[in-house]
């Protein structure tokens, strides 16, 4: 129980620190720099908290129900505090393909996200090195090693990441049908369900930037193999979801399955 409390304290401190960074960036930075600062703060929060929860889930004797509850609550906190940040280079890539963002701006946002994801690892390691809990101390004794995260073959894991990306994007496209207070909880529930369904095969990350922080340093596979699973899979999932709901189904049924409200939200 002590390990759980320590990890929750770390997650809470990370969220509060990143929220302070978002507030300071919005108040003192020029407007042109705000999107980049927002992505850095939010991606750092996402990756650092995910690293802490991953370690807690792997090391502590927590039942599945408790792990899923923690995931749901922390995901709801992320969704509620991110202010529209994507924390994934799929977001700026999609906007660039739709010509809603220049390629240079999209590349800048993606670089900011990747920098934050890479920074989360040494920051988390710095906290673990303090040995504030048995879980942290045990991880330090094993040299902060991360083992093979794949529970299936590379094609199986990539297929799971593709499916998760498809379902998550479909949920995002249709969240406008819910009242605003319910959207956070609906998306958090979808993400939690996807992690439960696909976690044993690939970890169900379906976020290329988060995967860089969580999985790329793990043993068992090369960077190219991880890119195949965690980059290509989610990108194809999101692209196929957009193709289905914005082109194929409207063509077959003669009506749009994505409302104007959703298009406005994606342009923002």
Calpha distance 28→36 (Å, rounded): 14
Any idea of the CA torsion for 173, 199, 185, 54, to the nearest 10 degrees? Answer: -130
Burial of 128 (0-12, 13-18, 19+ CB in 10 A): buried
Locate the DSSP E strands across the chain. Answer: none
Position with higher pLDDT, 267 vs 73: 73
Assess whether 79 and 194 both reside in one domain. no
pLDDT of residue 256: 62
Across the chain, mean pLDDT equals: 91
Model's pTM, two decimal places? 0.91
Assess whether 159 and 130 both reside in one domain. no
CB 188 within 8 A of CB 72: yes
End position of a domain, from candidates 123, 145, 167: 145
End position of a domain, from candidates 117, 145, 173: 145
Average pLDDT on 213-218 reads 94
Q: If you search the block for the tokens 């094993």, which residue do you land on?
A: 142
Each residue's pLDDT tens digit, 138-173? 999 989 989 899 998 999 999 999 999 999 999 999
Assess whether 17 and 124 both reside in one domain. yes
Assess whether 121 and 216 both reside in one domain. no
- The total domain count for the chain is 2
Calpha distance 251→96 (Å, rounded): 24
- pLDDT of residue 208 exceeding 80, the answer is yes
What the block records as the tokens of 55 is 């370690």
What the block records as the tokens of 163 is 């499916």
Calpha distance 250→101 (Å, rounded): 25
Assess whether 120 and 211 both reside in one domain. no
pLDDT of residue 244: 93
Position with higher pLDDT, 61 vs 211: 211
- pLDDT of residue 122 exceeding 60, the answer is yes
The whole domain housing 219 covers 146-268
Q: How confident is the model at residue 268 (pLDDT cuts 50, 70, 90)?
A: very low
Assess whether 106 and 27 both reside in one domain. yes
Assess whether 177 and 230 both reside in one domain. yes
Average pLDDT on 76-102 reads 92
Assess whether 155 and 100 both reside in one domain. no
Assess whether 141 and 11 both reside in one domain. yes
Average pLDDT on 240-246 reads 93
End position of a domain, from candidates 145, 163, 192: 145
Average pLDDT on 241-267 reads 72
CB 11 within 8 A of CB 49: yes
Average pLDDT on 19-48 reads 95
């Amino acid at each position: 129980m002590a390990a759980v409390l320590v990890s929750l304290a770390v997650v809470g401190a990370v969220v509060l620190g990143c929220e302070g960074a978002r507030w300071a960036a919005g108040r003192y930075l020029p407007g042109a720099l705000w999107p980049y600062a927002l992505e850095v703060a939010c991606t750092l929060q996402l990756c650092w908290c995910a690293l802490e929860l991953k370690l807690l889930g792997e090391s502590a004797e927590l039942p599945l129900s408790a792990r899923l509850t923690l995931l749901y609550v922390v995901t709801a906190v992320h969704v509620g505090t991110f202010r529209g940040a994507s924390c994934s280079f799929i977001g700026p890539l999609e906007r660039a393909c739709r010509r809603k963002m220049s390629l240079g701006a999209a590349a800048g946002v993606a670089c900011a996200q990747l920098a934050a994801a890479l920074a989360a690892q040494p920051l988390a390691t710095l906290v673990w090195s303090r040995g504030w809990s048995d879980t942290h101390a045990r991880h330090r004794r094993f040299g902060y090693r991360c083992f093979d995260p794949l529970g299936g073959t590379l094609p199986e894991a990539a297929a799971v990441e593709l499916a998760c990306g498809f379902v998550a994007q479909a949920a995002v496209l249709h969240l406008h049908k819910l009242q605003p207070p319910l959207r956070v909880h609906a998306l958090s529930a979808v993400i939690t369900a996807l992690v439960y369904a696909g976690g044993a095969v690939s970890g169900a990350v379906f976020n290329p930037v988060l995967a860089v922080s969580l999985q790329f340093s793990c043993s068992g596979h090369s960077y190219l193999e991880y890119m195949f699973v965690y980059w290509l899979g989610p990108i194809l999932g999101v692209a196929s979801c957009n193709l289905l709901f914005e082109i194929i189904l409207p063509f077959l049924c003669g009506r749009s399955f994505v409302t104007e409200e959703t298009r406005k939200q994606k342009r923002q």
